Chain A
Amino acid sequence: MPLKWRVLTIVALCLVSVWALFPRDVTTRVRGADGVLHDQKSRRVPLKPGLDLRGGTYLALEVDDSKQTIPASQKAEAIDRALKTVRSRIDGFGVSESVVQKQGDSRIVVQIPGIQDPERARALVQEQAFLQFKITDKTQALERSLPKIDQVIKQRGLVAKVSGDTAGKAATTASKGLQGLLTTTDTSKKSDSSKVASAGKAAKDSAAAADSLKVQPGGAFSSLLQQGGGTPGEFYVAVDQIPTLDSYLDDSVVKAALPPGKDFLPGTDSVSLQGKWYRSYYSVDSKPIITGDALKDARPAQNTMDGTVVEFELDNEGARKFRNETGKHVGDFMAIILDDRVMGRPPVIQSAIGAHGQITMGGKSLADAQDLALVLRAGALPVPLRVAEVHSIGPSLGQDSIDKGLRATLIAVSLVVIIMLVYYRFSGMLAVGGLVLYVLYTLAALAGFDAVLTLPGIAGFVLSIGMAVDANVLIFERIREELDRGKTVRTSIDEGFRHAMPAIVDSNVSTILTAAVLYQYGTGPVKGFAVTLMAGIAASLVTSIFVVRTFYLLWLNRSRGAQTLSI
């Protein structure tokens, strides 16, 4: 190739690279403080930092078949439908550059960059949004089953799992008079005054009834429960004992001992009694009076009576059914259950309710109400999903990784440059010139392939800088050998490049093969590593073989008949 074409090729490559890396407008959707989505334009270099660098949340979801068995044939279809629901929820969430995609046949991967509140994101995605309205148990069915459950747990030997200490403590708290607990509840729950107004009155009514049924201390199961604040079927469980309770409820025999036709579900609210935190649990009828299928619309709102609420509207048929059912249950308490969790405290039904209703959000923020309205609108997930994998990286750690990665890169580059300059002088300078183009080409290739930059990716880049000069070293050592044999400078350079070639190709091909396998089998960060490694090797071949050679040719042309070469 004539020299002119060589130079033109290099210049063209540089121009393409600069173009690929040129800052450009990126439109992102951002949810403003007012909760409205709007587009935001920003200019930046089109290199995509991965979640480990910018901070964010990665979730892998799979079908949760722990509660019900789902045939494999339905799973694949369910995942496809779930993907749509999850995507519309995430889009509605309004975080820019979120990714929702299918991984393999059975997983959904969600990547939300830069989110400050991973719990919220996770709740949003995972919420099956299966809305049910159920009447709380006023027949004290669970209370009556307690001795049986305690016995079952004893027989099953499950009680040994709990340390005697915590069980004992719980028992003491439980036996302290209920009246005292109730007063504490009322004062500590001022912030929860958004509950249906009559809840307090009802609490007092049922308190007397509950008093006679004071949970007896001693039983493994019953000692965990305390009568709740007056709503029938409400119980409190100390937060640190929830795992123990869950382990009991996981046991199939214990499950069977629970009263038939009733469900025992956790609530969303926690209360503080005597400096200790408790979670509400509810015993409710298994049969829902209505489900979220009948939902037509949902939106967040705030009103003075109930604070933050989600207002919903039912379709015609749903409204008719709802009116009938609530009419039958006036005076009862209705638990609003979302994905097997009771939302807030069940309100009392004062009269038949029609097409419009609201879910009170307790002391929660408008953002929570927005999220709930969003998931209700986007529809329920066809199957429950469980989180198979979660990675959540804070923005500070990401920034820290970027800073450290950049520092390591700069130091590595400086060291390599010093080594090359000291050892090869003028030729080293040409190699360093090649190295500059190498960095440019590699970054451009990464931008061009839309590759994601990760921390291992940066490490791969640093490493490839060290390896990139290997080709130069091979060539320079060859040229030296040729010069030693008394050949002219021009011939030595030609021969040097020619003889070093097989070794360069062989050694780089083996590394590229490794990187390709890593790309195929790696996930996230490792993929980033493989991509930078491959881009690095390709760029290093181009610069060391082609660019540096052109530099030599240029130099030979300028100093015609050079007798010595600084190498």
Chain B
Amino acid sequence: MLRILHDTKYDFVKHWKSAVIGTIAFIALGMVLLGVHAERHNGEALNYSIEFTGGTAIQLKFPQPAPPDVVRSAVDQTGFRGAEVTAFGDPLNFLIKVQTSESGGPAATNADSLGQDIARILRERLPSNPATVVRAEGVGTSVGSELKTKAITAILISFIVTLIYLAIRFEWRFGVAATIATMHDILTTLAFLAMMRLEISLTVVAAILTVIGYSLNDTIIIFDRVRENLKKQRKESLREVLNRSINETLPRSVLTHATVFAATMALLLFAGEVIRPFSWLMAFGVFTGTFSSIYVAGPILLWIEHKWPRSTGTESKGTSRALAEERKRERPTPVGTR
């Protein structure tokens, strides 16, 4: 039997103070960076994709590496002012992007013909290296603001739905701790977005929600074990129970995070530029999710317990709702095809 981190007795809870300081520093750095970005980009702290701001994005592909200044001047010649021209992944691909809010021009929903114009000029200038339009996207401002509302609604609703689920499934102490851990994940993710200056598209919003779900999943696994250990007749403090639960679930955490991390690495390295921001966020999510389950949800649970202690004997007698519920069910709920 190959075992890693089996039967460990690490005192995870002991380090909570430095962990909290670390994460607050990380978040603070991210927020400062957001401020800096906002200063630099006309008040837009986050790098929204054209899906949210409205605008035009055109991806050109060359058979051979092309000089960026030629692309730039071709873009200028079409009167496509204020466009941002960047290499996209490799020197063969270029992304030309302009946000409607910045240019103030008409909604650039003629992205396709605009792309063809630019490509035509480039083919005239670089006849031996003919450019083709591989992607042209244009989003009107009305659609953009609508999508923004939709994305925010999606994040809020998924938050509320998970809260309701936690409230049903766990005792309030656990629910509150898990919620705060989730908020922490949103903050660190924002900080990460600021640090990497990743473009926020709908796909990235989906990634954020998945990270939240994944992190919550991790918290639930640990809390499930805490709940189970509390049920057992032991003279242990909650702190000891928490530590023991984290240690007991450690092999599972390591293995699951390893497999998910392997999958995200495969995405990050091999799935290409289009999906890259998504891959980055997922890779980061594995870390923040693991961290928040141990060092945010745990300490907060202890703090709540300290502030509003259970009535004596609760731990063993199980008068709390979750424990009573656990008692009732001798067998687990049937799932799926049973």
- Docked Cα-Cα span, A459 to B266, in Å, equals 10
Q: Which residue of A lies closest to B224 (CB)?
A: A503
SS of A interface (majority)? helix
B112-A394 in contact (CB<8A): no
For chain A, residues 205 to 220, give those with C-beta under 8 angstroms from any C-beta of chain B.
none
A57 lies within 8 A of B142 (CB): no
Query: What CA separation (Å) do A3 and B134 show in the bound complex?
Result: 54
CB within 8 Å of B: which A79-130 residues = 118-119, 122
Cβ–Cβ contact A119 & B113, under 8 A: yes
- In the complex, A512→B9 CA distance in Å? 34
Enumerate B250-288 residues with CB–CB distance to A below 8 Å. 251-252, 255-256, 258-267, 269-272, 274-275, 278-279, 282
**Minimum C-beta distance from A257 to chain B (A):** 21
Complex Cα spacing A424 to B260, Å:
17
List chain A residues, Cβ under 8 A from B147: 523
B47 at interface, CB cutoff 8 A:
no
Flag if A388 contacts B143 (CB, 8 Å): yes
Report whether B221 and A474 are in contact in the complex, using a CB–CB cutoff of 8 Å.
yes
Chain A 373-413 interface residues, beta-carbon cutoff 8 Å to B: 386-394, 396-397, 400-401, 404-405, 407-409, 411-412
Q: Considering the chains assembled together, what is the distance between the CA atoms of A404 and B203 in angstroms? A: 17
Complex interface bits, A339-373 against B, C-beta within 8 A gives 1, otherwise 0: 00000000000000000000000000000000000
> Is B86 at the interface (CB under 8 A from chain A)?
no
Interface residues of B in 280-338 (CB under 8 A from A): 282, 326, 331-333, 335-338
User: Chain A nearest CB: distance from B131 CB in Å?
Assistant: 12
- The residues of B that contact A425 with a CB separation of less than 8 Å are 1-2
A514/B221 in contact, CB under 8 A: no
B137 lies within 8 A of chain A by Cβ: yes
Other-chain residue from A397, A455, A465, A525 in contact with B202 (beta carbon distance below 8 A): A525
A513 to B210, CA, bound (A): 10
| A423 and B255 contact, Cβ closer than 8 Å, known pairs A408-B267, A510-B162 | yes
> Which stretch of B149-157, B189-197, B236-244 is in the interface?
B149-157
Q: Are B140 and A463 in contact (CB under 8 A)?
A: no
Report B199-242 residues with CB < 8 Å from chain A CB.
202-203, 205-206, 209-210, 212-214, 216-218, 220-221, 224-225, 228
Of A38-46, A196-204, A315-323, A526-534, which stretch is located at the interface?
A526-534
Instruction: For B129, list chain A residues within 8 Å (CB).
Output: none
Q: Is residue A456 within 8 Å, beta carbon to beta carbon, of the partner chain?
A: yes
In the bound complex, residues from chain A placing their C-beta under 8 Å from that of B4 are 423
**Binary contact readout A464-477 vs B (1 if CB under 8 angstroms, 0 otherwise):** 01110110011001
- C-alpha spacing A466/B335, complex, angstroms: 21
Q: How large is the interface on B (under 10, 10 to 19, 20 to 34, 35 or more residues)?
A: 35 or more
Once the chains are docked, how many angstroms separate the CA of A392 from the CA of B119?
15
Cβ A541 vs Cβ B332 within 8 A: no
- In the complex, which of the residues B169, B203, B258, B336 contacts A529, with contact meaning CB atoms closer than 8 Å? B203
Q: Is the CB–CB distance between B266 and A392 below 8 Å?
A: no
Set of chain A residues within 8 Å of B326, measured between Cβ atoms: 502
Contact of B210 among A243, A455, A463 (CB under 8 A): A463
- Beta-carbon contacts under 8 Å, A514-567 to B: 514-518, 520-523, 525-526, 529-530, 533, 538, 541-542, 545-546, 566-567
Is the Cβ of B137 less than 8 Å from the Cβ of A392?
yes
Is A148 in the interface zone, CB < 8 Å from B? no
Separation of A505 and B261 alpha carbons in the complex (Å): 22
The complex places the Cα of A79 from the Cα of B151 at a distance, in Å, of 26
> Which of the residues A401, A505, A526 comes within 8 Å of B333, measured between beta carbons?
A505
In the bound assembly, the distance between CA atoms of A467 and B217 in angstroms comes to 10
With A119-B112, A389-B109, A462-B263 known to touch, is A394 a contact of B134 (CB < 8 Å)?
Answer: yes
A70 an interface residue at 8 Å Cβ cutoff? no
Cα–Cα, bound, A463→B283 (Å): 10
| Beta-carbon contact of B109 and A386 below 8 Å | yes
Is the beta-carbon distance between A459 and B271 smaller than 8 angstroms? Answer: yes
User: With A387-B140, A389-B139 as given contacts, are A522 and B111 in contact (CB-CB < 8 Å)?
Assistant: no
Judge whether A456 and B206 touch: CB under 8 Å. yes
A506 to chain B, nearest CB (A): 5
| Contact A465 to B263, CB < 8 A, known contacts A396-B132, A514-B212 | yes
- Are the CB atoms of A408 and B138 closer together than 8 Å? no
Please name all residues of chain A whose beta carbon is closer than 8 Å to the beta carbon of B112 when the two chains form the complex.
Answer: 57, 118-119, 122, 390, 392
Of A389, A391, A394, the contact of B132 (CB 8 Å cutoff): A394
Q: Is the interface of B mostly helix, strand, loop or mixed?
A: helix
Is A469 a contact partner of B256 (Cβ separation < 8 A)? yes
A466 to B255, CA, bound (A): 10
Check A415–B225 contact: CB distance below 8 A. Answer: no
Chain B residues near A481 (CB-CB < 8 A): 248
**Is B179's CB within 8 Å of the partner chain A?**
no
Minimum distance in angstroms from B147 CB to a CB of chain A:
7
A416-B263 contact in complex given A474-B221, A513-B165, C-beta closer than 8 Å: yes
Task: Assess whether B137 is in contact with A514, with CB atoms less than 8 Å apart.
Answer: no
- Most chain A CB within 10 A, of B3, B142, B274, is at B274
Evaluate contact between B220 and A510: CB separation under 8 angstroms: yes
Point out the residue from B110, B134, B259 that lies within 8 Å of A466, measured CB to CB: B259
A422 surroundings in chain B (CB, below 8 A): 2
B59 on the A face (CB < 8 A): yes
* A119-B116, A386-B109 known; A455-B275 Cβ under 8 A: yes
Q: Are B270's CB and A411's CB within 8 A?
A: yes
A452 lies within 8 A of chain B by Cβ? no
Q: Could you tell me the distance between the alpha carbons of A504 and B336 in the complex, rounded to whole angstroms?
A: 12
Given A517-B209, A518-B209: A389 and B140 within 8 A (CB)?
yes
A-facing mask of B22-63, CB < 8 A → 1, else 0? 000000000000000000000000000000000000010100
Contact of B274 among A423, A455, A463 (CB under 8 A): A455
B79 at the interface (CB under 8 A from A): yes
Query: Known contacts being A419-B262, A513-B158, is A498 close to B332, with CB within 8 Å?
Result: yes
Q: Across the interface, do A522 and B338 meet the contact criterion of CB distance under 8 Å? A: no
Interface status of A77 (Cβ within 8 A of chain B): no
B133 within 8 A of partner (CB):
yes
Q: Cβ of A546 and Cβ of B203 under 8 Å apart?
A: no
Q: Within 8 Å CB of A523, what residues of B?
A: 147, 150, 202
B77 interface residue (CB < 8 Å to A): yes
> B135 to A393, Cβ gap below 8 A?
yes
Cβ of A510 and Cβ of B137 under 8 Å apart?
no
* In contact, B154 and A517 (Cβ under 8 angstroms): yes
Show 12 A/B contacts (Cβ-Cβ < 8 Å), sorted by A. Answer: A243-B105, A386-B109, A388-B107, A397-B135, A425-B2, A455-B274, A463-B260, A473-B259, A498-B332, A514-B213, A526-B202, A546-B338
- Taking A411-B270, A498-B331 as known contacts, 14 extra A-B pairs with beta carbons closer than 8 A to each other, sorted by chain A number, are A118-B112, A122-B112, A243-B105, A396-B132, A407-B271, A411-B266, A416-B259, A459-B282, A466-B263, A467-B214, A473-B255, A473-B259, A474-B221, A567-B1
Residues of B participating in the A interface, judged by any CB pair closer than 8 Å? 1-4, 59, 61, 77-79, 105, 107, 109-113, 115-116, 132-140, 142-143, 147, 150-151, 153-154, 157-158, 161-162, 165, 169, 202-203, 205-206, 209-210, 212-214, 216-218, 220-221, 224-225, 228, 248-249, 251-252, 255-256, 258-267, 269-272, 274-275, 278-279, 282, 326, 331-333, 335-338
Q: Which 4 A-B pairs have the closest CB atoms?
A: A466-B263, A501-B332, A466-B260, A521-B154
